[in-house]
Structure 1
Amino acid sequence: MDIETQALVAYAPDSNLKADWRLEQVKLLLSPKQHELKVRMVATGICHSDLVAASTPPIPEWGMTFPKVFGHEGAAIVEEVGPDVTVANIGDPILLSYSYCDDCSLCKIGQQPYCLRWAQMNMSSGQGYFETHDGQHASGMFLGQSSFAGTSIVNENSVVNVKHLLQSDDDLMLLAPLGCGLMTGSGAVINGAGGQPHDIVLVTGLGAVGLGAIMAAKIVGCEEIIAVDRVAHRLETARELGATKVLDSTKVRGNLSEDIRNLVQGRRISIIIETTGAAQVIQECVQALGKHGRFIQLGAPPLNFEIKLPLHAFFSANQSFECHFLGNTTGQEWVPVMIKWWREGKFPIEKLVKYFPARKALQAIHEMETGTAIKPVLVW
């Protein structure tokens, strides 16, 4: 039987690539198949990746077709389990992250964020899961979950069972954003860069990804943590979360790399975590990296952007430029770690979250785009 539910549906963007979001009643057309669960969404974080994807022109070969239900930082209660599901039972509270095949050569060596079937599992699956109010089929299973729907079908590998990790229903709502941005930023510092107390870490962009990196660098005890952004209240939040120095990029008059080097008084910056994806920021921050340093790109750069990499200088200084996904980890592995930190007061995500009822989803998106809200969470 079809299930009526509310959903934030993305229709094809206009010619200027402006996203077309519509909050409407839809029908969930399918029951959970093998290794799938039907869930009632409690809350979901809005991630910058959702906004980017909704502004991308249709690319059928990538599974980017519209209309589509995005959302990939869900918190939910299990309502039905399909065949062979072992991760959760009906009534269990769960958090949701990305999906992976668990069978390819990279998954088998613990590299699930780089799964050889990642695009198929997270972008192009889920055709025909929803029907819009005017009868169009809308795809679901975005990153294994499509959490911008009040009721959704999710992939078992996206599920993190948290029934033994929560103390209240409010916990589930607050912890919704752990499955992507915060995992990506914190995991990049610890799992990706292997941050140590002797490191000087530079973080560019202070959304949830960047602030997750700031908190992780503080947990590690890094010698210096430099935060760069153009929004004043984000810079202040970064200070509260562990940044030792901040740089307002709107006040840079020359080259950003020069101001960064001056800020650390010429000392060696050993790790750069870049989350903005902005071409100029990437290009200039490459010049700030110190000897034997690691530049880790997390923010998606513009299409067709080519960086001018000073290869001889990189070789001579034994530097590296790396592109990392999803904290080099899985939700099942890393979400419990972040919850433990949160309980210990080391990962205060409540300072980032702003709740919005689902009916105000468009306002939440607007506040994220303007920088007013760092991590908007829709409450279903």
Structure 2
Amino acid sequence: MTTDTPALVSYPAQSVDSRPKPDWRFENVKFLRSPEEHELKIRMVSTGICHSDIVVAAIPSRPEWGLTFPKVLGHEGAGIVEEVGPGVTVAKVGDPILLSYTYCQNCDLCNVDQQPYCLNWTPINILGGKGIFETKDKEDAGGKFFGQSSFAGTSIANEGSVVNLKDLIKGEDELKLLAPLGCGLMTGSGGVINGASVKPHDIVLVTGIGAVGLGAIMAAKIAGAKEIIALDRVAHRLETAKELGATKILDTTKTSASFAEDLKKLVDGQRISVVIETTGALPVINETIKALGKHGKFIQLGVPLGPEVTLPLSEFFSDNKSFECHYLGNTTGQAWIPKMIQWWREGKFPIEKIVKYFPAKDALKALDEMQDGTTIKPILVW
């Protein structure tokens, strides 16, 4: 039996000034089926908008890859379980849950607790599934993006995406706030703790002060890093970074394009031992590579916005530096979200300082504010 549900549907990207721009439309879609084996039906309470939603929405259709539009995106969902399919053990009807990425649970990498690098990650997270939503024009709107498609008021989620919060939260207001823990904040904080293994002697440089960058800054403070440098071009984001733990800031609108030396001067020539890069911008990547000190780790978290970086291989070898690309905090939602909630309750992870709520119907306003830097982490409320 079909029902209607409101959804933010992503149609093929439009070209604006020769650049692809997401075409998101808030409309009612038909919700087509009940959950099948290891699936749950979720009533969404809220969902964060993540940069990855924007990136995927701007990719041209690639039927040969299985990537087609229209599609229901969204992958930082928070909701209530309405129905469970056969074999589900993670939650029961009525349980509050958060949603993160999904993974196959049986490939070589999943079997050794490397789920963010699951060999089947792209087909089950980016391509998702069909037969869940149908547009008013009777087109299939792909679902199960990141195993969840949380840009819909009601959705089907894979069991692997679900984190049960029934013993961790105190009502829907907390659930609504915590939605962004499923991706961006997990990626940043996990990149610092699980990826870079930051210690009190480390000087950490975080580039790009969005939700991922601020997750990294808060985690670096929790880890007791000696210095935490925040780099961005938006002044109020840098002020937020200072409030959440940055000890030094660099506003790239007030430097030359060659700012590696400015970074070194900020810390009086001390060794920058960790770079957490979230922008994906090649000029930022290339310049911060120059600032990385001996035996330093460069952790790439942002989706690269170009094909090549300049890596001085001889210097990296002689100074024992490393360049690593990490996904999703080197962890799972089930392992990491409870830890972030604990930090939040202790006042160490004040995500309420970086979010702004929007009715789901105002998603385009939220997107504009995110892209112009006005809002760091928009949360859509259903």
Same fold, TM exceeding 0.5? yes
In structure 2, C-alpha distance between the alignment counterparts of 1:310 and 1:61, rounded to whole Å: 37
In structure 2, C-alpha distance between the alignment counterparts of 1:314 and 1:58, rounded to whole Å: 39
Equivalent position amino acid for 1:85 in 2:
V
Residue 122 of structure 2 aligns to a residue in which SS? Answer: helix
Distance 1:194 1:61, change over 3 A: farther
Mapped pair 1:315 → 2:335: no
Unaligned ranges ≥5, structure 2:
none
User: Once the 2 structures are TM-superposed, how far is the Cα of residue 322 of structure 1 from its aligned partner?
Assistant: 0.3
Mapped pair 1:5 → 2:8: no
In structure 2, C-alpha distance between the alignment counterparts of 1:363 and 1:149, rounded to whole Å: 17
Q: What's the TM-score, normalizing by structure 1?
A: 0.99
The answer as to whether partners of 1:273 and 1:296 remain within 8 angstroms in 2 is: yes
Residue 346 of structure 1 aligns to a residue in which SS? Answer: coil
In structure 2, C-alpha distance between the alignment counterparts of 1:125 and 1:220, rounded to whole Å: 36
Mapped pair 1:186 → 2:184: no
Map of 1:300 onto structure 2: 303
In structure 2, C-alpha distance between the alignment counterparts of 1:191 and 1:253, rounded to whole Å: 33
User: Once the 2 structures are TM-superposed, how far is the Cα of residue 168 of structure 1 from its aligned partner?
Assistant: 2.1
Equivalent position amino acid for 1:334 in 2:
W
User: Once the 2 structures are TM-superposed, how far is the Cα of residue 125 of structure 1 from its aligned partner?
Assistant: 2.5
Map of 2:164 onto structure 1: 161
Map of 1:87 onto structure 2: 90
Map of 2:352 onto structure 1: 350
Determine which of 154, 168, 173 is the counterpart of 1:170: 173
Residues 1-380 of structure 1 aligned to structure 2 (within 5 Å)? 1-15=1-15, 16-303=19-306, 305-380=307-382
Cα deviation 1:18-50 (Å, max 9, x = unaligned): 111100000111211100000100000000110
Residue 60 of structure 1 aligns to a residue in which SS? Answer: coil
Residue 249 of structure 2 aligns to a residue in which SS? Answer: strand
User: Once the 2 structures are TM-superposed, how far is the Cα of residue 213 of structure 1 from its aligned partner?
Assistant: 0.2
User: Once the 2 structures are TM-superposed, how far is the Cα of residue 308 of structure 1 from its aligned partner?
Assistant: 1.4
Equivalent position amino acid for 1:376 in 2:
P
In structure 2, C-alpha distance between the alignment counterparts of 1:109 and 1:357, rounded to whole Å: 41
The answer as to whether partners of 1:63 and 1:125 remain within 8 angstroms in 2 is: no
Equivalent position amino acid for 2:341 in 1:
I
User: Once the 2 structures are TM-superposed, how far is the Cα of residue 134 of structure 1 from its aligned partner?
Assistant: 1.4
Equivalent position amino acid for 1:12 in 2:
P
Residue 12 of structure 1 aligns to a residue in which SS? Answer: strand
Cα deviation 1:229-288 (Å, max 9, x = unaligned): 011110000000000000101111251211111111111000000000001000111000
Residue 116 of structure 1 aligns to a residue in which SS? Answer: coil
Equivalent residues, number: 379
Residue 175 of structure 1 aligns to a residue in which SS? Answer: helix
Residue 130 of structure 2 aligns to a residue in which SS? Answer: coil
Cα deviation 1:287-313 (Å, max 9, x = unaligned): 00000000000000124x211110000
> Which segment drifts farther, 179-188 or 16-25?
16-25
User: Once the 2 structures are TM-superposed, how far is the Cα of residue 200 of structure 1 from its aligned partner?
Assistant: 0.2
Equivalent position amino acid for 2:282 in 1:
A
Q: Tell me how large the CA RMSD over aligned residues is.
A: 0.8
In structure 2, C-alpha distance between the alignment counterparts of 1:69 and 1:329, rounded to whole Å: 25
The answer as to whether partners of 1:7 and 1:69 remain within 8 angstroms in 2 is: yes
The answer as to whether partners of 1:19 and 1:55 remain within 8 angstroms in 2 is: yes
Cα deviation 1:83-109 (Å, max 9, x = unaligned): 000000000000000000010110011
The answer as to whether partners of 1:63 and 1:123 remain within 8 angstroms in 2 is: no
User: Once the 2 structures are TM-superposed, how far is the Cα of residue 60 of structure 1 from its aligned partner?
Assistant: 2.5
The answer as to whether partners of 1:8 and 1:22 remain within 8 angstroms in 2 is: yes
Cα deviation 1:301-337 (Å, max 9, x = unaligned): 124x211110000000000000000000000000000
In structure 2, C-alpha distance between the alignment counterparts of 1:267 and 1:282, rounded to whole Å: 20
